[in-house]
Structure 1
Amino acid sequence: MPDTVRKVFVSLLVAGTVLAGIPSRSKAADTPDAALIERGGYLATAADCVACHTKPGGKPFAGGLKIATPMGDIVSTNITPDPEHGIGAYTEEDFEKSVRHGIRKDGSYLYPAMPYVSYSGLTDGDVKALYAWFMHAVKPVAETPPQTSLSFPASVRTAMAGWNMLANHNQAETGDSASFDKMRRGRYLANALEHCGTCHTPRNFILSEKQDQYLGGGPLDGWYAPNITSSKTSGIGDWSEDDLVRYLQAGAVSGRSQAAGPMAEAVEHSTSHLTDADLHALAAYILQVSPYDEDAAHKPRDSFGEATVQPDIRSGDLTRIDDVTAFKGGAVYGANCAACHGDDGAGARNKYVPSLFANSVVGASRPDNLIMTVLYGVHRTVGKTEAFMPGFDGGSDVQRLNDGEVADVVNYVMAQYGSGNPHVTADQVKTFHKK
C-alpha cells in the first residue's frame, strides 16, 4: 500500500473510530437547556394551556374539550408531542404560526377559541421556551380528538383569513419578558399570557374584542366574566392591589368575591402558580385600566346588603298575608341554602362558606353568575384548600331544584342581600342549562 494511501486510510479509520462513539444526532444535542424548558413550563401555566386542551377526565393536553359557540362546539386539539396525533411533527416555525397567527402546520386556520389574538403579543424568546417545553417535557398521547364541526359559514375555515385581517391582534413584544419592569410585565401578562381580555372584554358583531370597552365584561358559556376595570361603581376600582393578588392566589377574598366556573379553573391551574412578583405586576396593571362605567351599576357590586335580622315571632302582632308568592324564594332558601349560608346570610364564621352580602356575585346587576352557581355549584382546589358547593340542577346529588325554584331563590337572594330583584323567570333559567 503506497504511503500516501496508507495515511489516508489510517486517518479515516481513526476518524471512524472516534465518530462511532458519537451519535450523529444525539438526544442530548436535541434537548434544549433545562432552564429554557423550565421557563416554558411556567409560561404554559401562565397561559393556562391545560384548561382548554384537556377534557374532563382526559390526559393533560390531549385535547377533546368541547367549547360551546353559537355556531356549534369547537373541540380542542391534541397538543402533546405525539407526531401522529399531536404536534410532535411541528417545527418551531410551525409552532409559532399556530400560537401567534392561528395557522396549523397543514395551513388550515384555527378558530379564535384558541386565543392566538392574545398570544400574538408573545416575545420570540417565550415562544421558543414554550416550544421547548411542549416538545421535551409534555408526555405524548396517542389520541385524536373528534373533529370540530360548525354550522355554515363558520365551517369554512378559510373564512378565518378575513376575520384575522379585521380582528384586533396584539403587537409582538420584544426583548426578554422576564426583565420587563413591573407595569410592562403586568401588561404583558394580562394581554398576552393570561389573555384576560378573551373573557372579560365584550365583543362586536364579528366577535372581535371591543377595545374601547377593554375588560368591561362579557358572557362566557352561561357565566358572565365581570367588569374588572378601575371603575368604582362597575368594576373593581375599590379593590387594593393586595386584594386582587389574594383573589388570584386563592380564588376568594372575604367581603369581595369568590371564583367559580371558568375563573375558578383559571385560578386553580394558572394564577395560583404565578410568582408573587408576577401577581403584583398583573394586579397593578389591571387596577389602572381605564374605567368602563355601566349605566345599571351605581355602587360597587361587593358593597350591597347586610345580615338579615330574624324577628322573634313569639311576640308582637301577627299580620295575615294572603299572597304567599313572596315567600317562595325564602322557603327554597331556608330548605337548601340556610344550613351553610345561615338564616341571616352571613355564611360561616371561618369564611369557608361566604356571606351573601358584601358579595360581588349577589351584588352584580346581572343574575347570570348566581344562576350558574345555584345550578352547577363551586369546585375549586388551590393547594390543599378545596372550596366546594353542590349544584342543584337536574343532576344534583343533594337536592334537585326545578327551573322555577332556581328562579325564586335567585330573586330572593339578590333582593334580600344584593342589588335587588332581577325578576328571573323559569324560562330564563332554562337557557342556562348546559347542553
Structure 2
Amino acid sequence: MIVMNRFARRAAYFLIIATTMGAVLCTRVLTSVHAQATAPTTDKAVAIMDPTLISRGEYLAKLGDCAGCHTAPKQGAPFAGGLAMGSPFGTIYSTNITPDRQTGIGHYSYAEFERALRDGVAPGGKRLYPAMPYASFTKISDADMLALYAYFMHGVLPVSNRPPETMLPFPFSQRWGLFFWDTAFVRHERFKQDDKRDAQWNRGAYLVQSLGHCGACHTPRGAGFEERGYDESSRLYLTGGANDNWFAPNLTGDLGSGLGRLSPHDIAAFLKSGHGAAVHIVTFGSMVQVVEDSAQYFTDDDLNAIAHYLKSLPAREPSGAYNPQSQKAQEMAVSLKTGDVEHPGAGLYLAFCAKCHQTDGRGVLQKFPALAGNPTVLALDTTSLLRLVIEGGASPQTLNGPPTRKMPAFANQFTDAEIASVLTFVRTSWGNEARPVAKRDVAVLRGKLKK
C-alpha cells in the first residue's frame, strides 16, 4: 500500500503539471524548433574528423562519465547500453550510444545529438527520461558538444546491441508528459562565467554543473523528482540527495556532514583515487564506479578546479558535529583502549569493526576509512551507513591508487537492533555528534534491498 500511495501521489502531480503548463505549449514549441533547426556547417563536418578533436571528445566523455551509465555490468561492451537503473517510477535501461546505425546513434546528425544531450529529445521527438542528466548537459559549451559528437561518431567502436526497452507503469509511460516536466523545471542555457571569480573557479563550476552533473545525485529532489537547484545560487544545491537506496553526501562547506573539514587536496585525491589525502575518507556505493570510470582520468588541473569550486560553497543544510576534544570523546577513547565499555553497540564494534576502523575510529590511511569525523557518519540521512553494514562494499580499483579493499556484509550476522545499536555507537563516539539510528530504519532499508 505504501508503494501504491507513492505512485498515486506522483501520478497526481504529473497530471497537474500537464494541465497547468499547457498554456506555454505554443511558445515553447516555436522557440524549440528554431533552436533545433541548426545543422553542422561544412567546416564542422570537416572538423569532426580531426584526431585532436576526437581525442578531446574522449576526455570529455570521461568527464561526463558516459560509460558509467551506458555500459552494462559484467563486461558489457563500452557505451552499448543495457544498464538497469532504479528510480521511484520503475527501472530505466540505458541506451546504446555507439555509432551503430541500427541500434545506436550512428544515424544522428549533429543537431540531433545536441538536442538529445541538451534537451532530452531523441530523433523523432521521443522524450528521454531525466535519468539522462540533460538538465546539467544543457550547460555544455558548443565547443565541447562538437568534440563529444566527433568522439562518439568516429572514436567509439559501433556495437550492434538492442538493450531492453524501458517500460514504466502508467502514467510515467506517457513520455509526452515530459515536455511539461521539462518546461517547469529545466533551464535551457549554456554555462555563464562569473567575471567576479577567477579562471580556476569558473572551470570548476563548469565541470561540476555541466559535464560532471554532480547535482544529479548530490542535490535533493522535489515533489516532481526535479533537482532543487542547478548552481550555487540555489540554497539546496549539492546539499545531499537520496538515489537508488544510497545517500550522496552534502558537498557544501558544512563542518559536520559536508566538506568543511576537508582541504582542496583531500577532495582532489578523493576523486582521483577514491581515498582522501590527510583525511581518511574512502569512496563507497555508486561513487566507486564514478571514480573507476571517470574521475581517476581527470587532469590535475581539472581536479584542482573542481576542489576549488566546491570549497567556495558556503555551509548549507548542516548536520551533525565533530568535537574530538570534548570530555565525552576523551573518556570514550580511554574506555575503548582498555575495553571497559558498557555503551550499547560498543561490544559489537570492538568485535567486528575495530580491526579495520581501529579502536579510536581513525581507520588506516589509504586502506580503511576513519569513522571519527567522517562526513557520511555525521549525515542526517543514514541510508548509506545502513546499506554498507547490510550489504558490505569495496573501495575503487584505480590505475594509481591503493589496492581495493572489501567490507564484509553483516545482513546475516546482525539483527536490525544490533545494526541500529552499533551505528548509533559509531555516530556518538570519538567526538561524533549525530542522531541515533532507529531499529525501524534498518528494517525499512532491509525490505527495500530484500536483505
Question: Do they fold alike, i.e. is TM over 0.5?
Answer: yes
**Which structure 2 residues correspond to residues 17-166 of structure 1 after superposition, within 5 A?**
32-57=49-74, 58-166=76-184
Larger radius of gyration: 1
2:437 is matched with 423
Q: Describe how 1:133-282 pairs up with structure 2 within 5 A.
A: 133-173=151-191, 181-211=199-229, 212=234, 213-253=236-276, 254-255=278-279, 257-282=281-306
* Superimposed CA distance per residue, residues 338-380 of structure 1 (whole angstroms, 9 cap, x where no aligned partner): 33223443433x5412332132222333322211222231231
CA contact (8 A) 1:372 1:432 kept: no
Q: TM-score, normalised by structure 2?
A: 0.78
Summarize the Cα distance change of 1:242–1:151 in structure 2 as closer, same or farther, 3 Å threshold.
same
Measured after TM superposition, the shift of residue 152 of structure 1 is 1.7
1:339–1:107 Cα change, 3 Å: same
Alpha-carbon distance, 1:415 to partner: 3.0
Residues in 1 aligned to 2:237 and 2:418: alpha-carbon distance in whole angstroms:
36
- Tell me which protein shows more helix as a share of its residues: 2
| CA root-mean-square deviation | 2.9
Whether 1:308 and 2:322 are equivalent positions in the alignment is no
How many residue pairs match? The answer is: 387
Contact 2:256 2:322 in 1 (8 A): yes
Structure 1 residue 233: Cα displacement: 4.5
Kindly state the Cα deviation for residue 289 of structure 1 after the two structures are TM-superposed.
2.4
Q: CA deviation at 1:336?
A: 2.8
Distance across 2 between alignment mates of 1:237 and 1:170: 31
Q: Is the Cα–Cα contact under 8 Å of residues 363 and 414 in structure 1 kept in the other structure?
A: yes
State whether residues 235 and 300 of structure 1, in contact with CA within 8 Å, keep that contact through their aligned partners in structure 2: no
Q: Tell me if the contact between 1:67 and 1:73 (Cα under 8 Å) persists in the aligned partners.
A: yes
Which of 158-167 and 264-273 deviates more?
264-273
1:217-269 superposed Cα distances (whole Å, 9 cap, x missing partner): 11111111111113344522333222221222222214352211122221222
Cα distance in 2 between the residues matched to 1:308 and 1:368: 27
| Cα shift readout 1:288-342 (whole Å, capped 9, x = no counterpart) | 1243133x435599x99678334657xxxx99x8xxxx55x34433443233223
Cα distance in 2 for residues equivalent to 1:246 and 1:110: 34
Question: Counterpart of 1:366?
Answer: 381
Give the distance between the partners of 2:445 and 2:167, measured in 1 at CA.
Answer: 27
The structural deviation recorded for 1:62 is 1.2
Identity of aligned residues (%): 36
- SS of 1:42's equivalent in the other structure is helix
Structure 2: distance between partners of 1:407 and 1:387: 27
Residue 337 of structure 1 corresponds to 353
1:332–1:190 Cα change, 3 Å: same
Which amino acid in the other structure matches residue 437 of structure 2? H
Query: Which deviates more, 384-393 or 161-170?
Result: 384-393
* 1:434 positional shift: 6.2
Inter-partner Cα distance in structure 1 for 2:248 and 2:88:
17
Q: Residue 159 of structure 2 aligns to a residue in which SS?
A: coil
Aligned in 2, Cα 1:420/1:239: closer, same or farther, shift over 3 Å?
closer
Structure with higher RCO (Cα < 8 A, 6+ apart): 2
- The whole-number CA distance in structure 1 between the counterparts of 2:163 and 2:417 is 37
Picking from 320, 341, 352, the partner of 1:297 is: 320
Q: Which amino acid aligns with 2:348?
A: V
Whole-Å Cα distance in 1 between the matches of residues 223 and 138 of structure 2? 22
Unpaired segments of 5 or more residues in structure 1? 1-27
Which whole-Å CA distance do the structure 1 matches of 2:159 and 2:128 have between them? 21
Distance in 2 separating the partners of 1:52 and 1:270: 11
- CA distance in structure 1 between the partners assigned to 2:91 and 2:213 by the alignment: 21
Question: What secondary structure does 1:381 align onto?
Answer: coil
Whole-Å Cα distance in 2 between the matches of residues 115 and 282 of structure 1?
Answer: 19
The worse-fitting range, judged by mean Cα deviation, of 354-363 and 96-105 is 354-363
Partner of 1:355: 370
Contact 1:255–1:358 (Cα < 8 Å) also in 2: no
Counterpart for residue 433 of structure 1? 449
CA distance in 1, matches of 2:281, 2:151: 34
Q: State the Cα deviation string for residues 181-224 of structure 1 (Å, max 9, x = none).
A: 32221111011010111111112111212123111111111111
- Match of 1:308, SS state, is helix
1:377-414 CA-to-partner distances (Å, cap 9, x unmatched) read 123112143332234155xxxx7545444333323322
